[in-house]
Structure formats: structure tokens, C-alpha cells
Amino acid sequence: MRGPGRFFNRRLEVWRPVTTDDGYGGQETVYVQQPNTVRAKVDQPSNADRMLAAQASSKHDHTVFLLPRADVRRGDELRGTDRLGQAQVFRVLATVQPSTPIYSKAPCQLTQQGG
């Protein structure tokens, strides 16, 4: 029997925010690419998910499922391309796991890239 990993049909880069001094007494945030990609399945949220997000004034518009040991944190960006080769950047709003850690679920906001 094959495990749940067979459903994770995309590889996404993980970019983590790092705050650095700007040299003028302030700080700036830059995103640093992490060494490993993660296997993922990207879904649009269900109508129920959208309703809950709207009630909570959330920016959740996609759900990314990950393997349970994937090092993905709130605030990270998951970067990849869609089936048409268009760049996609998903900002991770949170990460959660079910009581039996078969996968991690990350509500995300898709950031449109200018072209």
C-alpha cells in the first residue's frame, strides 16, 4: 500500500522571512530560500472554508497540504509554478496537523506576481 505522499504532486520552495538591520537604525525583512523543497498538494478552499475565512476577516484563499515533517512555518512563503508555468507565491497564514499526523495543513494567501 502506498502512503499519503502520493497525493503531494508539487514541489514548492520554502522562503523564510529574516529581519536584518538596515544600517540606518531600522530593520528590513528579507526572504531567504531554505535548502530543501517540500512536497505539497495545493487546493482551493471549500465553500465552508471560505465562509469561515470571511467571517474571521482572514485572507485565506488556498489550502496547502504538506507531509507532516515539512519545515513550514507561519509567515513563510511557498513558491512554485502552476500547471501553465505561471509563478505562484503562497504566504503561509498558519500550520496545523490533525490528531494523527498524516499531513500538515497550511491555510495560505496566494500573492499574484506581476508579469
DSSP 8-51: --EEEEEEEEEEEE-SSS-EEEEEEEEEEEEEEEEEPPPHHHHH
Q: Is 83 helix (H, G, I), strand (E, B) or coil?
A: coil
More confident position, 14 or 7: 14
Q: What number is the average pLDDT over the span 42-67? A: 77
Cα 78 from Cα 73, distance rounded (Å) = 10
Instruction: State percent of the chain over pLDDT 70.
Output: 83
CATH code matching the domain that covers 4-111, chosen among 2.40.10.270, 1.10.260.40, 3.30.505.10, 2.40.50.140? 2.40.10.270
Q: Tell me the domain boundaries of the chain.
A: 4-111
The pLDDT, as a whole number, for residue 85 is 85
Q: Scanning the structure block, which residue is given the C-alpha cell 509554478?
A: 81
Whole-number mean pLDDT of the chain? 85
Give the pairing type, strands 62-66 and 77-81.
unpaired
The pLDDT, as a whole number, for residue 73 is 96
Chain segment 62-74, per-residue pLDDT in tens: 899 999 999 999 9
The pLDDT, as a whole number, for residue 78 is 97
Indicate whether 98 pLDDT > 80: yes
